[in-house]
């Protein structure tokens, strides 16, 4: 008995989208539309830049020499304009009294420094899991290491001073707690020298700090070596150094600069300090980066930013998660919020063509049924 034969199935005819389209048609010139779009957007960008673009104002501030436009803040600029501030900041880095030294994770293990929310310290939790992701020892990274590597090999006096200072104790391990950076003897030297630098009798140049004699140990030699490498630009190169051929990591330099007062003075003069909407305000022009208004605005709310709120950054971060992520995601299911589109029907303006056509079809349907 012969096996049954099967006729091959005919291939299904493909549906041609143009031949079968029953809707309205109109001519469309892609080249013209694209050209017009590019030209219009370019003109709008030029207009917006001329109205709201941020000027390249340099590092000017009250009673300071005018800096060239676009000049970046550096240790060299800092030392040239306020050597007193640089010297006193370097002393605080050795002492463990700077903001960076007392910041806590991810920079160091300073206890009680991390911010908390309902008794939870997220930074400490992260440190217990990942460790210190960016360990900084302010005494070593900002002062002793650059002085040892840049100046000590060529200046025996500085080399002796660094060895004497290190033999006096102090923890120079990466990420050491602020209270362990200086030993009792080092703390005595540093406290005495800090008071001398802050006195009205102190005299400063870009490479020297002259104070009355006192029990300072080797600290004056180390601080003046720090001023020397700041004034000739070597410190900037050290702080931006990296194992990579090209480095764009300026974290350590930024942390060091922010521990001083000149950095904040310039920011305030340019209108970009924290209480001046600095996160979204680029220099002094309006309106700045308007997409950051929610984040910057929270720092201006008195209830969130009372005097001495040590947890402000964490509070703002959690609110950003709530208002910027969770609220938009779950808005359709939140009673009251999900009714806002009905109360403020902006969608009818956005989709006005659709609602106009739908309304016309409804009227035509009623007319035909009525006739």
Question: What mean pLDDT is reported for the chain?
Answer: 86
Residue 4 has pLDDT above 60, yes or no: no
In this prediction, residue 310 has a pLDDT band, given cuts at 50, 70 and 90, of: confident
Find all residues with CB under 8 Å of 345, minimum gap 6, and list them: none
Domain boundaries, the chain: 75-263, 273-332, 336-370
Contact, 266 vs 61, CB < 8 A?
A: yes
In this predicted structure, what is the pLDDT of residue 45? 83
Question: Residue 152 has what DSSP assignment?
Answer: G
For residues 139 and 60, which has the higher predicted lDDT (pLDDT)?
A: 139
Closest CA to 175 of 134, 114, 203, 235: 134
* pLDDT one-digit tens code per residue, 243-276: 666 677 788 999 999 999 999 998 888 777 877 7
* pLDDT one-digit tens code per residue, 194-217: 999 999 999 999 999 999 999 999
In this predicted structure, what is the pLDDT of residue 242? 66
**Looking at residues 279-301, what average pLDDT do you find?**
75
**Looking at residues 75-95, what average pLDDT do you find?**
96
Question: Which of 3-17, 59-73, 282-296, 315-329 has the largest mean confidence?
Answer: 315-329
Closest CA to 292 of 314, 268, 272: 272
Lowest mean pLDDT among 180-194, 331-345, 351-365: 351-365
Residue 185 has pLDDT above 90, yes or no: yes
Query: Considering the entire predicted model, what is its pTM?
Result: 0.76
In this predicted structure, what is the pLDDT of residue 57? 66
SS (HEC) of 330-368 = HHHHCCCHHHHHHHCCHHHHHCHHHHHHHHHHHHHHHHH
**Looking at residues 316-336, what average pLDDT do you find?**
90
Cα distances (Å, whole numbers) of residue 113 to 103, 104, 106, 110, 259: 6, 5, 11, 6, 16
The residues that bridge with 209 in the sheet, in sequence order, are 204
Number of residues written out for the chain: 371
């Amino acid at each position: 008995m012969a096996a049954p034969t099967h006729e091959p199935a005919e291939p299904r005819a493909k549906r041609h989208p143009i031949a079968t389209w029953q809707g309205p048609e109109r001519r469309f010139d892609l080249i013209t539309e694209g050209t017009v779009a590019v030209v219009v957007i370019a003109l709008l960008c030029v207009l917006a830049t001329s109205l709201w673009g941020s000027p390249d104002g340099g590092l000017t501030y009250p009673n300071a020499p005018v800096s060239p436009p676009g000049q970046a803040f550096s240790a060299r600029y800092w030392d040239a304009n306020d050597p007193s501030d640089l010297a006193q900041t370097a002393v605080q880095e050795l002492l463990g009294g700077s903001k960076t030294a007392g910041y806590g994770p991810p920079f160091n293990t300073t206890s009680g420094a991390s911010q908390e929310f309902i008794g939870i310290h997220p930074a400490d939790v992260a440190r217990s899991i990942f460790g210190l992701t960016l360990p900084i020892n302010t005494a070593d990274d900002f002062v002793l290491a650059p002085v040892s590597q840049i100046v000590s090999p060529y200046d025996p006096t500085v080399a002796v001073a660094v060895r004497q200072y290190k033999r006096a104790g102090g923890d120079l391990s990466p990420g050491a707690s602020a209270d362990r950076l200086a030993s009792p003897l080092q703390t005595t030297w540093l406290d005495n020298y800090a008071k001398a630098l802050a006195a009205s009798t102190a005299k400063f140049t870009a490479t020297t700090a002259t104070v009355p004699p006192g029990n300072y140990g080797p600290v004056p030699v180390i601080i003046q070596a720090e001023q020397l490498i700041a004034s000739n630009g070597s410190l900037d190169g050290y702080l931006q150094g990296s194992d990579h051929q090209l480095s764009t990591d300026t974290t350590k330099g930024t942390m060091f600069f922010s521990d001083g007062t000149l950095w904040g003075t310039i920011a305030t003069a340019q209108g970009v300090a924290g209480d001046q909407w600095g996160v979204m305000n680029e220099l002094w022009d309006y309106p700045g980066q308007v997409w950051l208004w929610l984040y910057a605005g929270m720092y201006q709310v008195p209830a969130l930013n009372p005097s001495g709120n040590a947890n402000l950054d964490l509070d703002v971060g959690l609110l950003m998660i709530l208002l910027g992520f969770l609220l938009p995601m779950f808005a359709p299911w939140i009673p009251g919020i999900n009714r806002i589109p009905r109360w403020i029907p902006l969608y009818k303006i956005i989709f006005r063509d659709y609602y106009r056509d739908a309304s016309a079809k409804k009227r035509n349907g009623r007319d035909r049924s009525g006739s």
